[in-house]
Amino acid sequence: MKTLEKDWLTTGLIDYEYKKYVLLAYLQSVKNNFELKKLYPDLSDLEHHYEYSLYFKSGLKQMMDNFPKRISGVNTEDLSFNYELAQPTDAGYFNEIESITEFALNRFRYGIKLGRDIAREVEHQVTISPIGIEPLYKNEGYFFLYEPWLNETRIYQFNLTIFEDKHEKLRGLKIFYVDTVKRSMVNTFENIKLDLIKRFKHLPNPATYMIEAPCALPLEETLLPIAKKKIVSFVSSAA
């Protein structure tokens, strides 16, 4: 995966054409991954780069506004002075940075929209359903990643934590790989759940869910991140 450093805007050669080349090479790599349904961490990285560029643009404007002003004339009607911004000696540098930032923001916006559109499409296709009777406490348990064309099902333990910041309650999900098992007419999802209860006594009545993908998806880059979002959304809505 081709990466883009967080401070790519201000490090190295400050030249519009050069920075444009660096950015477009990175974005082409991201686009190639999106076409392969590899969404993460590229989509998250794009969002971070976009937010940082917005923050940088705001800081750049504030810095320019704080440059000394000089009198450019006098308003004869009310005898007030008119002011203009004194141009800094490195105005060319700031203009170049500003042009690069504007170009980057537009490209980041496009890439984010592309990634989110694909993510929504995939999330709509991936389904989640409980295995057996759901317990009252649903913040800890297991989920099965089921791909119908495979003879194996991946099992993960999850732990949903809730914490608060100044504005809202936030949810974080930790997952741990447990096992990969073969599913058969005898070894049903319900029986797999019962076997987990026998093997791992610390979860005597675990919330257990099946997450089914209708088509082949990259595991680390797409299926697992979407599975985690499905768990958080499903458990939170049932709370």
pLDDT score of 232 = 92
pLDDT score of 95 = 79
pLDDT tens-place string over residues 24-62: 999 999 999 999 999 999 999 999 999 999 888 887 766
Is 116 in the same domain as 186? no
Instruction: Give the residues across from 159 on adjacent strands.
Output: 140, 174
Residue 79: band (very low, low, confident or very high) from pLDDT cuts 50, 70, 90: very low
Is 96 in the same domain as 160? no
pLDDT score of 72 = 46
pLDDT tens-place string over residues 183-214: 777 889 999 999 999 999 999 999 999 999 98
- The C-alpha atoms of residue 171 and residue 168 are separated, in whole angstroms, by 10
For range 57-77, the mean pLDDT: 58
Q: Give the CA distances from residue 217 to residues 126, 155, 156, 229, in Å, rounded to whole numbers and listed in that order.
A: 10, 17, 17, 15
Q: Give the CA distances from residue 122 to residues 46, 215, 229, in Å, rounded to whole numbers and listed in that order.
A: 19, 9, 12
Phi and psi of 104, rounded to 5°?
A: -65, -45
71, 105, 124 - which closes a domain: 124
Is 47 in the same domain as 96? yes
Q: Is residue 215 part of a domain?
A: yes
124, 140, 159 - which closes a domain: 124
Q: Determine the structural domain holding residue 168 and report its residue range.
A: 127-238
72, 93, 124 - which closes a domain: 124
Q: What total of structural domains would you count in the chain?
A: 2
Question: 207-212 and 140-146: which strand pairing?
Answer: parallel
